[in-house]
A = this chain, B = another copy of it.
Amino acid sequence: MPSANPADDTAAGVDIAALLERGRAMSTPELRAAVDRLASPMDTVAAYHFGWIDAHGLPADGDGGKAVRPALALLSAEAAGARPEVGVPGAVAVELVHNFSLLHDDLMDGDEQRRHRDTVWKVHGPAQAILVGDALFALANEVLLELGTVEAGRATRRLTAATRKLIDGQAQDISYEHRERVTVEECLEMEGNKTGALLACAVSIGAVLGGADDRTADTLEEYGYHLGLAFQAVDDLLGIWGDPVSTGKQTWSDLRQRKKSLPVVAALAEGGPASRRLGELLAADAKSNDFASFSEEEFATRAALIEEAGGREWTSQEARRQHAVAIAALDGVELPEQVRAQLVALADFVVVRKR
Q: How many copies does the complex hold?
A: 2
Q: Please determine whether B171 and A131 come into contact, CB atoms closer than 8 angstroms.
A: yes
Instruction: Give 1 or 0 for each of A100-140: 1 = CB within 8 Å of chain B CB.
Output: 10001001100000000000000000110011011101110
Indicate if A152 sits at the interface (CB-CB under 8 A). yes
From A75-83, A157-165, A216-224, A239-247, give the one contacting chain B: A157-165
Q: Please determine whether B145 and A130 come into contact, CB atoms closer than 8 angstroms.
A: no
Residues of chain B within 8 A of A138, CB atoms compared = 137, 160, 163-164, 167
- Report the minimum CB–CB distance from A19 to chain B (whole Å): 30
Q: Please determine whether B39 and A168 come into contact, CB atoms closer than 8 angstroms.
A: yes
Residues of chain B within 8 A of A170, CB atoms compared = 131
Indicate if A297 sits at the interface (CB-CB under 8 A). no
Indicate if A248 sits at the interface (CB-CB under 8 A). no
Residues of chain B within 8 A of A130, CB atoms compared = 104, 107-108, 130
Residues of chain B within 8 A of A157, CB atoms compared = 141-142, 145-146, 148
Q: Please determine whether A139 and B164 come into contact, CB atoms closer than 8 angstroms.
A: yes
- Report the minimum CB–CB distance from A38 to chain B (whole Å): 8
Q: Which of A263-290 contact B (CB under 8 A)?
A: none
- Report the minimum CB–CB distance from A171 to chain B (whole Å): 6
- Report the minimum CB–CB distance from A141 to chain B (whole Å): 4
Residues of chain B within 8 A of A139, CB atoms compared = 164
Q: Please determine whether A42 and B171 come into contact, CB atoms closer than 8 angstroms.
A: yes
Instruction: From B100, B127, B164, B171, give the contact of A108 (CB < 8 A).
Output: B127
Instruction: From B131, B137, B152, B161, give the contact of A134 (CB < 8 A).
Output: B137
Indicate if A315 sits at the interface (CB-CB under 8 A). no
Q: Please determine whether A153 and B164 come into contact, CB atoms closer than 8 angstroms.
A: no
Give me 5 other A-B pairs in contact (C-beta within 8 A), A39-B168, A41-B175, A104-B134 excluded.
A133-B134, A139-B164, A141-B156, A145-B160, A153-B153
Going nearest first, the 4 A-B pairs with the smallest beta carbon separation are: A153-B153, A145-B157, A108-B127, A141-B160
Question: Could you pull out 26 A-B pairs where Cβ atoms are within 8 angstroms?
Answer: A39-B168, A42-B167, A42-B168, A104-B130, A104-B131, A107-B130, A108-B126, A108-B130, A108-B131, A127-B174, A130-B130, A131-B174, A135-B164, A135-B167, A137-B137, A137-B138, A138-B160, A139-B164, A141-B156, A141-B160, A142-B157, A142-B160, A142-B161, A145-B156, A145-B160, A150-B150
